[in-house]
Amino acid sequence: MYRLQYWIVMIFRFILLLFPQKLRFKFAEFLGWLGYVAIKKRRETTLMNLKLAFPNKSAKEREEIALESYKIMLKAFLCSLWFKEYFKNKENVKTVNKEAFEKAYAKGKGVIVALMHMGNMEASVKAVDGYSLVTVAKKQRNPYIDDFITESRERDLNLTLLKKSKGTSKELIKRLNNQNIIALFSDHRDKGAIVDFFGESAKAPTGAVSLALKFDIPLLLVYNTFNEDNSCTVHVLDEIELVKTDSFKDDVINNTQNLIHKMEDVIKEYPEQWMWFHDRWNLYSKYSKLKKNK
C-alpha cells in the first residue's frame, strides 16, 4: 500500500512538471480552492480560528482570508516538488534584512531561527544559504514518501533534516556549535508553554527559546510571504533580546510569550499568508466533543 501511494505521488509529480511553472501555480490555487470547499472539517477549523483572531472583521472578510490562505499553502506545498528549478531563478527568493542574521552569526555562537508556517515557508531557509543549517520535521507515515521528502529537502534546500522524536533535543544539542544554524518551526500547537495568542490560551513549542537561553545563542524570527508573481520574500527580524532572571523555567515561558506576540504582529500584518487550517487553539476538537455530549 505504501509503495503504491509513493508511485501515485511520483506519477503526479512527473505529470505536473511537464507544465510551465505558471500553470503549476494556477493548478495549486485550484487545489487550494477545492480543498477549502470540499474538506468541511478543515474549513470549519479555519473559520473558527479566524473568528477568534479577528472578531471585528466581517464573516465575508474572514472567508476571503481563509480562501487565500488555502491557495498560498497549496502553492507552497506543490512548489516543494520543484524547489531545485524554483531556486535556479534568483529572483524567486528575495531576502529582507539579511544583515540581521549576519550580525547575529558574527557573534560566533551559531544562530537559533524560529520559523513560521507562512507563505512559501520552506523557502525561508534561503535566508541562510551557504551556511550549515539543521532543522526538524515530523516523520511521514509512508516510509517511501518520507525518504523522498528527506532526500529532496536536504539536496534542494542544502540542510540537515532531523526526524522529530524523543531524542530530537539531544541530537540538536550535539549539533550546537559556532558553525550551525538551528531552524525550528515555532508557531503551531505543540508541547511546551501555555501562552496568550490572540487573546486566547494556547500551547506553544519552547524549543527555539530554550536552546537560545540555555546555550546563550542569538535568536531570530524569520518568516516568508508569497508574492503575486509567485516569487517569495523572506523577512528576517532583528535579533530578539532575551530576558534572563534566576528562574530558567520562567525565562522560557516569558520569552516564548514574547516570541508568540511577535508572531501575532506578523500574522496581523499578513493574515492571508498564515496556515489557518491547523487546529491551533484546539477549537474544533472542543467543538466536536460538545456536539457528541449533546
pLDDT tens-digit series, residues 35-60: 999 999 999 999 999 999 999 999 99
Which residue's entry shows cell 477568534? Answer: 52
The three-class DSSP label of residue 177 is coil
pLDDT in tens, 276-286: 999 999 886 76
Q: What's residue 206's pLDDT?
A: 95
Examine the pLDDT at 290 and tell me if it is beyond 60: no
As a whole number, the mean pLDDT across the chain is 92
Paired with 274 in beta bridges are: 118
Residue 293 — pLDDT band, cuts 50, 70, 90? low
Handedness of CA 29, 129, 103, 171 (dihedral sign): positive
Q: Which secondary structure element, helix H or strand E, spans residue 66, and what is its range? A: helix 59-79
Give residue 168's pLDDT: 82
Helix (H, G, I), strand (E, B) or coil at 224: strand
DSSP state of 120: S
Question: What pLDDT does 278 receive?
Answer: 93
3-state class of 222 per DSSP?
strand
- As a whole number of Å, the end-to-end CA separation of the chain is 38
C-beta separation of 230 from 75 below 8 A: yes
pLDDT at 156 over 90: no
Cα–Cα dist 248/246, whole Å: 6
Residue 170 and residue 192: Cα distance in Å, rounded? 16
pLDDT of residue 294: 55
**Binning pLDDT at 50, 70 and 90, where does residue 158 land?**
confident
Domain ranges of the chain: 2-293
- Report the alpha-carbon distance of residue 130 to residue 224 in Å, rounded: 18
Q: For residue 172, name the pLDDT band (cuts at 50, 70, 90).
A: confident
Cell of 118: 507562512
Tens digits of residue pLDDT in 232-246: 999 999 999 999 999
pLDDT at 126 (0 to 100): 85
Task: Among 153-167, 171-185, 198-212, name the most confident range.
Answer: 198-212
Angle between helices 207-214 and 248-269 (to 10 degrees): 130
